[in-house]
Chain A
């Protein structure tokens, strides 16, 4: 039995029997000879291979940008894949024209990716477009030539000429020439596509790899995935989305970072999340990387894992009919080792919603402030990303959970430091008293993201930072100078 993956490639209906795990980038360049999509790094770090993928959500056709170097072919099933060639017409699109007019191309190698990212941003915009969001839309696109000045000017021009307050949808973007006419017929054509057949979805096949977002796995083992049987979890409707059940939040393991940060329940829980999420991966990767994947990868610097540790999340693990709950704080057992048994799948993350007086803060230091990692996990490692949950009455701490990544083989819950601070008043003395405990329970090692002593220093600084940020009325950095 071979795979039969049915999809629409630009304006052509296509069926391929290439393996599910082959990257869309290789498929485009090697099999389809569509060379407008460029390979710059094959690790999701440069954006030169950005494509669009359109999917029917009910009646509505929704387009998102993806990095084709991290996207398995099987994900195309039933969808509309758009490459730069699929946007070209006799006339340049307003996006292409703006890039030309403002001299936003130099060597041109990153340019198709930039056109795709901007197009994807507009297609996803239903409300007015704005300058800051144009920048966000391009935060996965590296350009080594221009210094981004001309690209930003082209973006501003687009905002000026297209951002006139009107409500947008696919039809209006077609009318404005952002995408070609043939996009009008894509919803009907998608509905008429035959069902794909994926070998790895045969019950008798036990896949070598199970892929959620794949944004880490493809960076680590892309070559092997291309020739292995892979099961794509995204293909089943389960394990997605966030729901509330009384005082508990249920987060499906396949919930993407973007869905996680944009969900109203999450925003209510962690008001700063939409700002902070900008520091985690890139806009494009956040649409693909999953909360569950971030936990299962068990990177010591997993951003989401560190947040969830402070929230004292529970994990639901399932193997067939066997379901068990494991507290996240007991899940990580060693470097990239977890309590997950072979055959088990992480299906859900459960958070008990804390009382409303709880404050949260997250800190992250990295060499480059944004996208300091091509794949989600390692991106965050340099600093000691941390999050805390703290509940106060007056200035006395009643409960506190502090977690930290990059300071141990696992994302670490700082148990002793947290315990020490309970019952203390928020002041310099309390924090200074906690610092030796903090240093005692961390064990950072030197790696590409920093020396061990730097990470120890950062652990100190970020513990202080939590308090100066949350309680500026009680404490500031200067307090540590009066005594130190």
Chain B
């Protein structure tokens, strides 16, 4: 089945926020942001900006009538800075003008006098100065301290893990329309309409019902618009509310790169103990998360780091420590994987170090320690599925891992200037929001007398294929043609109190709510059909292929007839339904519980070729076996696996966020921040979906797919490392990402570097 929105995409007709027809008298906002990473604001001079022709006004924090701070978990982030600034790119004032160009030009005329203060950019530095957000967390399983004695080998090390820019192709944007009374309608590219609604209501002292947020689609989100889209919608709303005029705010690419947070960089220490055979006995890890200047979602991201610190392995004795550290960088935020990738990188590094020390292939240790059904995670939950081992074995057999290993060893023995490397990367990712209360969703379904259907859910279409999947689910649940289903925009007036479209669960939650709404309507329609057929056993009536089926036999009654008849018979053709994932709970005092509805597993093999003279590499192939359950739409799911993989490969290799010592982002344009292009991705990407009839609580046995494949990308780091080892077997290499060609070359040629310096 094709995507239902693809036809709009290819014709350029798909509507994004600023593609909607312009309302009369629209004004444009631009943001004046802090040029320093930490300082006291002494004065702000907006005279020249105001004097520029075409400028309407400038708003500062003084113009915020009610709450001037926001944030989902901790409301610590100022909408507009007041007395102090904490990062470069922090909004200080909003300029409103008759064109976007004029408004942006005027921001350059604002003069800020600021007393600069010392800054912190490193998380360990922040930690040692007590600059932390929330409280440090520790998960414990078994008894680590006494387990070290049982180990034949103990190795220690540390990882430095780079952040990542979301680089959604559509930058942050919002358009706000003032309505009668004090009401506002917000068109925003947000993954979190309810947060946007709530923040604007609180900022302006309005009830939530006065703020309607509407989202048609996003030009990519990846977590970057989960929390942070709200800021820009709020600033546009502030201007629109004061001026009683429509206001649009669109960040330019460089503004977006500078002003918004990214995936969290981490600095982590590990200690791992194994037997001579490679059985992991004990693992201790400490994660220092670089949270940036304000809380944002950092503590939740950290929590998922703790959950995934042992990735796909059973380790009987573990102690996992994590802390969010406050630095003078833009507040880091959600991004695909949400702290999971950093956790997995560290355990994979620890395993690599063990393998290198013992001189055995890394995958032998990995395989020996893979989770089995019934194994307990450090957070107390047992893994139910055996799909992890099944994907491993299937990858090993389908792609002939032994042959890959032999081929690469043979190549390396006969080549000097280039070397090859491979790595196996198993993943095990928990599905559900780890904040249990967020695992809820609603849907609103209308059937019209002509038989057409309208579905609204609390999920946002951001490219992940939600609307295609919801439409497929609705068509299947009703037993009617897909063409009858329309997926509406996401709107806070039609669906209240929605959770963000995040954590890979948007289809799971909203799909289930949709099914529940449809069941309500179907019950009513089937009762009517029973009446029309003159039968009493409604349970034997179903709808299939738009026909009413009784006791397995097609009747003359059609869907269209039933819809029309129901309307005439005064039967409610609409339903609203609610879904909350059952069985979830987590006790943060004990750090134990059942946070996940289920786990998604898979195994990837990554192969690369390294140019040992130039330090550059090419990814030759990625071969994956992934557990999708019973896919609702394989075209969409394949796209999610390939797209997630691409981002993961980029994160580990060429996506190089560079901040200087002043806390200034130097990779602030597309010339300086490189994401995978069509050449970067290997032509060989084999994906096999596990033949899996195992149950999941998601619609029709499907499984969440958004985030898990991202982590296959981690394999590329270890594949390159293996090739480096083949070139310089005697050398120790760092566990530092991204592994850019610069880092590779400098690590391979340390002697020459010394000579040159």
Contacts and interface: CB of A to CB of B under 8 A. Distances in A.
Interface of A: 26, 30, 33, 35-38, 40-43, 45-46, 48, 83-85, 88, 92, 95-97, 99-112, 115, 135, 138-139, 141-152, 219, 223, 226, 363, 365-375, 378-379, 382-383, 439, 448-451, 453-454, 456-458, 460-462, 464-465, 468, 476-478, 484
B51 to A, nearest CB: 17
Contacts of A84: 11-12
What's the dominant secondary structure at chain B's contact region? loop
A109 B676 CA distance: 17
B9 interface: yes
A477 B416 contact: yes
A461 B745 contact: yes
Interface in B706-742: 740-742
What's the dominant secondary structure at chain A's contact region? loop
A146 to B, nearest CB: 5
Nearest to A99: B10
A45 B12 contact: no
B634 to A, nearest CB: 9
Interface stretch (B128-136, B218-226, B357-365, B506-514): B218-226
A368 B679 CA distance: 9
A370 B679 contact: yes
Contact of B5 (A108, A382, A462, A468): A108
B756 interface: yes
B146 interface: no
B437 interface: no
Interface size class of B (residues with CB under 8 A): 35 or more
With a 10 A CB-CB cut-off, give which of B21, B253, B742, B749 has the most chain A CB atoms.
B742
A476 B202 CA distance: 69
Interface stretch (B372-380, B451-459, B556-564, B607-615): B607-615
Given A111-B10, A139-B678, A461-B614, 10 more contacts: A88-B12, A139-B677, A146-B642, A148-B681, A367-B674, A368-B680, A378-B671, A382-B742, A448-B658, A477-B416
Given A103-B635, A139-B677, A448-B667, A40 B101 contact: no
Contacts of A457: 745-746, 749, 752-753, 756
Nearest to B5: A108
Contacts of B678: 135, 138-139, 141, 148, 151-152
B752 A35 contact: no
Nearest to A101: B2
Nearest to A112: B12
Contacts of A46: 169, 670
B220 A149 contact: no
B11 A148 contact: no
Per CB-CB distance, the 5 closest pairs between chain A and chain B, nearest first, are A36-B12, A107-B463, A45-B670, A109-B219, A108-B9
B656 A37 contact: no
A100 B685 contact: no
A48 B16 CA distance: 14
Contacts of A439: 756
B6 interface: yes
Given A41-B669, A109-B170, A365 B11 contact: no
A41 B219 CA distance: 13
Contacts of B18: 35
Contact of B9 (A101, A105, A135, A465): A105
Contact of A43 (B253, B647, B756): B253
A476 B416 contact: yes
A464 B124 CA distance: 40
Nearest to A45: B670
Interface string B165-184: 01111110000000000000
B751 interface: yes
B262 interface: no
B16 A109 contact: yes
A145 B463 contact: yes
24 contacts: A26-B101, A43-B670, A106-B639, A108-B14, A109-B168, A112-B9, A144-B643, A144-B647, A147-B642, A147-B676, A147-B681, A149-B638, A365-B741, A369-B680, A370-B679, A370-B680, A374-B670, A378-B671, A453-B753, A453-B756, A457-B749, A458-B615, A461-B749, A477-B417
A351 to B, nearest CB: 27
A449 B218 CA distance: 32
B745 A464 contact: no
Given A147-B643, A448-B672, A453-B753, A477 B612 contact: yes
Contacts of B8: 108
Contacts of B613: 461, 464-465, 468, 477
A468 B14 CA distance: 52
Contacts of A366: 741
Contact of A226 (B101, B638, B674, B740): B101
Contacts of A142: 169, 670, 675, 677
A247 to B, nearest CB: 34
Interface string B3-32: 101111111111010110110000000000
Nearest to B21: A33
